[in-house]
Chains A and B, each alone.
Chain A
């Protein structure tokens, strides 16, 4: 049982390396991302996460395809998304894709739902960005039903009604993948995560940490309000962004050319100011450990920590080295220190095995369940 999970999350941007002027091809970038996942398992990290994007310069448009390949090449790595677009994807397809990935990976999968912030993606997929919250609410309610009820009859505002629909395959062992809800600053999403007793993930990068604090605080408060436990028992995941070298000066020197022209925050504040105002840490492994332990001060004891280490055109060798440092020098200390600091009664990070055990324990009193383990069994129930 792992009390806390550590891993990496990738945005999947194809960005020129500003120090050489070379831009990887989409193929090279995809292969590099796959190599990061394998490296993460090799050095003992727990989680690999990919974003989902439908516009250049990003490559990961099809997360479950990528994660399926990684599942086949790994033994214990947990695969997830940051985030899966609950707004523009059909929840029916999300239900199918992730249930399939559960089976393929032997239960090593969960997912983080997000709304996406690229305006044109909505109309490209037949939606309207102004409906973002509404889509997240309606689509997720349907997704839950598809994973929990063998036969679904449903109608809503944003997709065609379903009559007699059975999502296949059924979730592995009848237990749906754990769901995190990710949002930078929409209180409605913290509220949604709390209502269902799901996890809440804050990307905790690029923005002032006050947003993380405000969202996590609301989520914890409302998690308790909806009767899922105490605020401290809510399931929280955080991101973070790091670049490490033997000395702080060396790390700053190596990262600065990437920082200065990076997508999202380049041409803005200085590296020093940005490191002060956001959780970005450029320095020694010890400094990363100290800063990361400090996330507890504003988020409380939490269950998952993901690091962004591969964007802004950083070359593959540099990223692999960052993963190596994370696995060998940073995460072992973080595991030990977080375990030492954790208050009693804080739940462990969610896994399929734990959810399965919990489902077994409450099975007798559960009314809405998807206990069929295959489609034939689900359909047979109707006869």
Chain B
């Protein structure tokens, strides 16, 4: 199983990264308990910020950003963690999502998580993050994890992190392995041959 973690905190170190690491650990442990091998990769969007903007402006991707995009689209599942800004995910997080290839998250199991100053922003998970991932046709887990400043001193966060990790592990075990459709691979369902194109027009 390959799991990509997208973490969009702006400071270093960040509580967003802290939450991402704990979700990754909980998921990995739950998968190990179920006998699955796990390979994880963490994408710090902060380190790709300039590359993301360059790609948005010029359509040219740096090698680092190309690798991050490949890691996301080739993953079996994603863990996504963003800070909350002005009632929503951060702009940098959204810009990273915007540079992913169209359709690359379709059918992808995704664990949603966010951080914020107070618990009053926790609805960001269901009002911003979940609709975005639904639009991208990802399979979002029912449990999403929000961590506000005070949660870092509360045992409740542990419970939510572990439950989310178990849910993602269960879903990954239950799902058939993911086949990405590649329009450049003539053996893939994403490839359209010319007879079909002629028929469509």
Please list the residues of chain A having a beta carbon within 8 angstroms of any beta carbon in chain B: 133-135, 137-138, 141, 156-158, 187-188, 191-192, 194-195, 206-208, 210, 214, 217-218, 221-222, 225-226, 264-265, 267-269, 273-274, 277-278
Further 18 A-B residue pairs, CB within 8 A, beyond A207-B60, A221-B186, A269-B54: A133-B197, A141-B201, A187-B184, A188-B192, A192-B197, A206-B59, A206-B60, A207-B59, A208-B66, A214-B184, A225-B186, A264-B58, A268-B60, A269-B62, A274-B60, A277-B60, A277-B63, A278-B60
- Report the bound CA distance from A222 to B149 in whole Å: 57
Complex interface bits, B48-84 against A, C-beta within 8 A gives 1, otherwise 0: 0000011001111111001000000000000000000
B61 engages A222 (CB within 8 Å): no
Question: With A and B bound together, what is the CA distance between A157 and B59 in angstroms?
Answer: 33
In the assembled complex, which residues on chain A have CB atoms less than 8 Å from the CB atom of B58?
Answer: 206, 264-265, 268-269, 274
CB atoms of A137 and B198 under 8 A apart: yes
Q: Are the C-beta atoms of A192 and B194 separated by less than 8 Å?
A: yes
B197 near A188 with CB under 8 A, answer yes
What are 21 sample pairs from A and B whose C-beta atoms fall under 8 A apart?
Answer: A133-B197, A134-B201, A135-B201, A137-B198, A138-B201, A158-B201, A191-B192, A191-B194, A191-B197, A192-B194, A195-B194, A206-B58, A206-B59, A206-B60, A207-B60, A208-B60, A208-B66, A265-B57, A268-B57, A268-B58, A277-B63
A326 CB, nearest partner CB in chain B, Å: 24
B103 sits at the interface (CB 8 A): no
B residues lining the A interface (CB < 8 Å) = 53-54, 57-63, 66, 183-184, 186, 191-194, 197-198, 200-201
- Chain A residues contacting B62 (CB-CB under 8 Å) are 269, 273, 277
Q: Min CB distance, B91 to chain A, in Å? A: 18
Question: Which residues of chain B are near A135, meaning CB under 8 Å?
Answer: 201
Measured between C-beta atoms, what is the minimum distance from A127 to chain B in Å?
Answer: 13
CB-based contact B57/A141 at 8 Å: no
With CB as the reference atom, state the residue of chain B lying closest to A225.
B186
In angstroms, Cα B198 to Cα A273, docked, is 41
| Least distance between B48 CB and chain A CB atoms (Å) | 13
Which B residues lie within 8 Å of A208 (CB)?
60-61, 66
State in angstroms the CA–CA spacing of A188 and B54 once bound together.
27
CB distance from A234 to the nearest CB of B (A): 15
Q: How far is the CB of B76 from chain A (nearest CB, A)?
A: 24
Closest to A274 in B: B60
Q: For A187, what are the chain B residues with a Cβ–Cβ distance below 8 Å?
A: 183-184, 191-192
| 8 A-B pairs with least C-beta separation | A195-B194, A268-B58, A138-B201, A268-B57, A265-B58, A137-B201, A134-B201, A269-B54
Alpha-carbon separation in the docked complex, A265 to B56 (Å): 10
Chain B residues lying within 8 Å of A207, measured Cβ to Cβ, are 59-60
CA distance A226 to B186 in the complex (A): 13
Distance in Å: Cβ of A270 to nearest Cβ of chain B? 9
Q: How far is the CA of A194 from the CA of B184 in the complex (A)?
A: 13
The interface centre, meaning the residue of B60, B194, B197 with most chain A CB atoms within 10 A of its CB, is B60
Residues on B with C-beta less than 8 A from A226 are 194
Minimum Cβ distance to chain B for residue A335 (Å): 30
B191 to chain A, nearest CB (A): 7
Given known contacts A138-B201, A194-B194, A222 and B186 CB-to-CB distance under 8 angstroms: yes
Are the CB atoms of B192 and A157 closer together than 8 Å? Answer: no
List, in ascending order, chain B residues with CB within 8 A of A141's CB. Answer: 198, 201
A212 to B66, CA, bound (A): 15
- Complex interface: chain A residues within 8 A of B200 (CB): 134, 137
A187-B184, A187-B191 known; A269-B197 Cβ under 8 A:
no
> How near does chain B come to A143, taking the closest CB pair, in angstroms?
13
- Complex Cα gap A208–B57 (Å): 14
Bound-complex Cα distance A177 to B189 (A): 35
A269–B63 alpha-carbon span in the complex (Å): 13
Residue contact B54 to A268, C-beta cutoff 8 Å: yes
CB distance from B145 to the nearest CB of A (A): 36
Closest beta carbon of chain A to B58's beta carbon, Å: 4
CB-nearest residue of chain B to A184: B59
Give B85 Cβ to nearest chain A Cβ, in Å. Answer: 24
Nearest Cβ in chain A — how far from B54, in angstroms? 5
**B54, B184, B194: most-surrounded residue (chain A CB, <10 A):** B194
A57 to chain B, nearest CB (A): 18
Instruction: Tell me the minimal C-beta distance from A218 to chain B in angstroms.
Output: 5
Contact of A157 with B197 at beta-carbon distance under 8 Å, contacts A207-B60, A267-B57 already known: no
Min Cβ gap B105→A in Å is: 19
| Cα distance A265–B54 in the bound complex, in angstroms | 9
A226 to B194, CA, bound (A): 10
Task: Note all chain B residues with C-beta closer than 8 A to A192.
Answer: 194, 197
User: Which residue of B is nearest A218, CB measured?
Assistant: B184
Q: Chain B nearest CB: distance from A225 CB in Å?
A: 8
B198–A269 touching, CB < 8 Å: no
B60 touches A269 (CB 8 A): yes
CB distance from B52 to the nearest CB of A (A): 11
Best-buried of A133, A156, A188 by chain B (most CB within 10 Å)? A188
List residues of chain B with CB within 8 A of the CB of A221: 186
Residues in B neighbouring A191, C-beta threshold 8 A: 192-194, 197
Alpha-carbon gap, A22 to B183, bound state (A)? 45
Say yes or no: B197 contacts A137, CB within 8 Å.
Answer: yes
Docked CA distance A218–B193 (Å): 11
Least CB distance, A11 to chain B, in whole angstroms: 15
CB distance from B184 to the nearest CB of A (A): 5
